Structure 1
Amino acid sequence: MLLTIDRICKSYAAFPNPPTRVLHEVSFGVNHGEALGLVGESGSGKSTIAKCLLALTRPEEGSITYDGIDVVNARGEDLRRFRREVQMVFQDPYGSLNPRMTAEDLIGEGLLVHGIARNSVERRSRVAEMMEMVGLNPDDMDRYPRSFSGGQRQRIAIARALVIRPRILVCDEPVAALDVSVQAQVINLLQDMQRKLNLAIIFVAHDLAVVRHLCENIVVLHKGKVVERGSREQIFGNPQNPYTQSLLAAVPVPDPALGRARREARHAAQAAG
């Protein structure tokens, strides 16, 4: 297992009230090249898990292990290696990019920080290669974020995360702020990058249609607890937990007849139970 989260708990201060527990003994793992979906409604703890596994906040209990590194207590070279090999793509491409930096500076910043490209010529070459890989024109590397569309900005954010060749990419609802047509392009790009780079992806989302398209395995969260986990086929084909069933039932169905039949079947099952 490349990354293992074992029984982590996290609370936030709620002064003058007692601390509020937002994660309750959450456990799951991610293998090399796997796409894992973390799903649940707002407030279920998805983003807090992402912050914990990126060492942006510390859980009070439990452990997080990445390729032999104790992430919670990592220091020095272990922490630098972890920061280099586990990268994140944030939800808002407008807020996650510095508007004063060009696309070249944004994408190449990680190369500079981690000492991967030794000179500006090498960095520029790596940036151009990465821009082309994510579907951007390398001739645009001197432009600023304001001159790109939302989808292009998210491609810049993805290129920025992937240019240092991480092994895990954490995506915190990366398509939620984009138009539907652009969402499909970004999801297809992530799938393509996963195959090309043998990349493990942890995909945080509340949109089950997106998760179904991208992720082979799924963890369902409710009020900070893992209520169900399994393969895509298991979760969508035969969900066991009532909360998972309610999530799937809430997914809009474009065919009215199919939607009506599904509602009738659900009502019949509830009446029988």
Structure 2
Amino acid sequence: MLMSVDCISKSYHAFPNPPVKVLHDITINIKAGEAIGLVGESGSGKSTIAKCMMALIKPEQGQISYDGIDVINARGEQLKRFRRDVQMVFQDPYGSLNPRMTVEELIGEGLLIHKIEPSISARRKRVGEIMEMVGLNPSDMDRYTRSFSGGQRQRIAIARALAVGPRILVCDEPVAALDVSVQAQVINLLKDMQEKLDLAIVFVAHDLAVVRHLCERIVVLHKGRIVEEGDRDAIFNHPQDEYTRSLLAAVPVPDPALGRARRAARHAKI
């Protein structure tokens, strides 16, 4: 097992109100090279799990381990190795990229911090290779992010994460702020990167339809608890939990007749 999240719980405190528990004994195991989807409505705890996995916040109880590293208590070289091997792509490509840095500086920053490419020329060459890999033109590396579209900015964010050669990519709703057509492009890009680089992906989303193309295994969250977990076919074809069925029922259907039939069946149950 590459990464293990074992019975973590987390509460948020807002004085003078009592603490609100947002995660309840969450356990998730991630294998090398697999794509796993964390799905649920807003407030279900998806992003909190992602932040705990990235050691950005600490759970009150439970353990998180990565390749022999105790993530919660990691320090020094262990923490540095974890930071290199587990990278994150955030939801908002407009807010997650420093507008004062060029594309070359953004993508190459990790190479400099982790001393992967010590020389300027080597870093520039590596940045160009990564840009080509994610579908960007290397000749644009001297430009600033303000001159790129939302989809292009998210490709820059993905390139920045991939530059240091991670083993796990944690994606916190990376397509939620993008148009539907651009969403498909980013999902296809992530799937290609997973196959080419043998990359494990943790994909956070509120829409089951988004994760269907990318993720082999899906974890459904509701009010901070895992209500269902299984492979893609089992979740979509034989959902066991009522909440999972409600999420599937909310997925848009492109066929009007099928959509009307589904709504009629749903109303008949009420």
> What TM-score bracket applies, with the shorter chain setting the length?
over 0.9
Q: Which residue of 1 aligns with 2:252?
A: 252
Map 1:42-61; keep pairs closer than 5 Å.
42-61=42-61
- TM-score, normalising length: structure 1: 0.97
Q: Distance in 1 between matches of 2:196 and 2:250?
A: 34
Q: How much does 1:250 deviate?
A: 1.3
Structure 1 unaligned residues grouped into runs of 5+: none
Q: Which residue of 1 aligns with 2:30?
A: 30
Instruction: Write the deviation string for residues 49-93 of structure 1: whole angstroms up to 9, x where unpaired.
Output: 000000000000001111111101111111110000000001111
Partner secondary structure for residue 214 of structure 1: coil
Partner secondary structure for residue 202 of structure 2: strand
Q: Which residue of 2 aligns with 1:5?
A: 5
Q: Which residue of 2 aligns with 1:177?
A: 177
Q: Distance in 2 between matches of 1:43 and 1:175?
A: 18
Structure 2 unaligned residues grouped into runs of 5+: none
The number of aligned residues is 270
Map 1:97-246; keep pairs closer than 5 Å.
97-246=97-246
Task: Percent identity, please.
Answer: 76
The residue type paired with residue 255 of structure 2 is D
Q: Distance in 2 between matches of 1:7 and 1:267?
A: 38
Q: Distance in 2 between matches of 1:145 and 1:32?
A: 32
Q: Distance in 1 between matches of 2:156 and 2:251?
A: 30
Partner secondary structure for residue 227 of structure 2: strand
Q: Distance in 2 between matches of 1:57 and 1:192?
A: 30
The residue type paired with residue 119 of structure 1 is S
Q: Distance in 2 between matches of 1:58 and 1:210?
A: 28
Q: Distance in 2 between matches of 1:128 and 1:166?
A: 18
Q: Distance in 1 between matches of 2:59 and 2:115?
A: 30
Given the alignment of the two structures, is residue 85 of structure 1 paired with residue 85 of structure 2, yes or no? yes
Instruction: Write the deviation string for residues 190-219 of structure 1: whole angstroms up to 9, x where unpaired.
Output: 011001000000000012111111100000
The residue type paired with residue 131 of structure 1 is M
Q: Which runs of 4+ in 1 moved over 2 A?
A: 260-268
Is the Cα contact below 8 Å between 2:102 and 2:142 reproduced in 1? Answer: yes
Q: How much does 1:267 deviate?
A: 4.7
Q: Distance in 2 between matches of 1:37 and 1:181?
A: 20
The residue type paired with residue 207 of structure 1 is D
Q: How much does 1:266 deviate?
A: 3.8
The residue type paired with residue 169 of structure 2 is L
Q: Distance in 1 between matches of 2:56 and 2:145?
A: 25
Instruction: Write the deviation string for residues 100-135 of structure 1: whole angstroms up to 9, x where unpaired.
Output: 100000000000011111110110010000001011
Is the Cα contact below 8 Å between 2:33 and 2:198 reproduced in 1? Answer: yes
Q: Distance in 2 between matches of 1:267 and 1:89?
A: 39
Q: Which residue of 1 aligns with 2:67?
A: 67
Partner secondary structure for residue 14 of structure 1: coil
Q: Distance in 2 between matches of 1:201 and 1:47?
A: 14
Structure 1 vs Structure 2 CA RMSD: 1.0
Is the Cα contact below 8 Å between 2:10 and 2:59 reproduced in 1? Answer: yes
Q: How much does 1:17 deviate?
A: 1.9
- Name whichever of 205-214 and 47-56 sits farther off: 205-214
